[in-house]
Homo-oligomer: A and B are copies of this chain.
Amino acid sequence: MEKENAIEKGLALIKRSKTCLIGTNGDNGFPNVKALLNYMNEGLNTIWFTTNTPSKKVKQVQKDGKACVYYYDENGFEGLMLVGTMEALQDPASRRKVWKDGYEMYYPKGVDDPDYTVLKFMTESFNIYSGFSNSTFEL
């Protein structure tokens, strides 16, 4: 598969995904996987999530930012794995960029609630599986 076509297929898969999975480096060298809502992406380059500040993911990425984000279609036999680094952010610009109306339900103190943390993932390479083709590209 050519890179341009792979990016197009990957973006289409993200668009129709309700959830995605994040892979992080957990305790004692074991990888961890967790499902998150597919929240916000800028192309394949940058993926944004929100989480509670005390969550295990925040501690993990503060210790080791190497991570992956995975989208898949279990009926269409398609999968997209983005490999890169994840940061936990609380700066005002990131908070405001990702905030959505109604979030007060989760973070009662609003956009500056200390319990509100933004996860920013930056892709370095990606692998796409579609049909019988499996291709990896640098981004």
Chain A residues proximal to chain B, CB less than 8 Å: 18-19, 21-26, 28-35, 64, 66-68, 70, 72, 74, 79, 81, 83
- Max chain B C-beta neighbours (<10 A), residue from A21, A24, A35, A68: A35
Copies of this protein in the complex: 2
Does A35 lie within 8 Å of B72, measured CB to CB?
Answer: yes
How many angstroms from the CA of A64 to the CA of B25 in the assembled complex?
13
Shortest A26–chain B CB gap in Å is: 7
User: In the assembled complex, which residues on chain B have CB atoms less than 8 Å from the CB atom of A25?
Assistant: 29, 31
B31 touches A24 (CB 8 A): yes
Q: Is the CB of A32 within 8 A of B31?
A: yes
- Residues in B whose Cβ lies below 8 Å from that of A32: 23, 31, 68, 81, 83
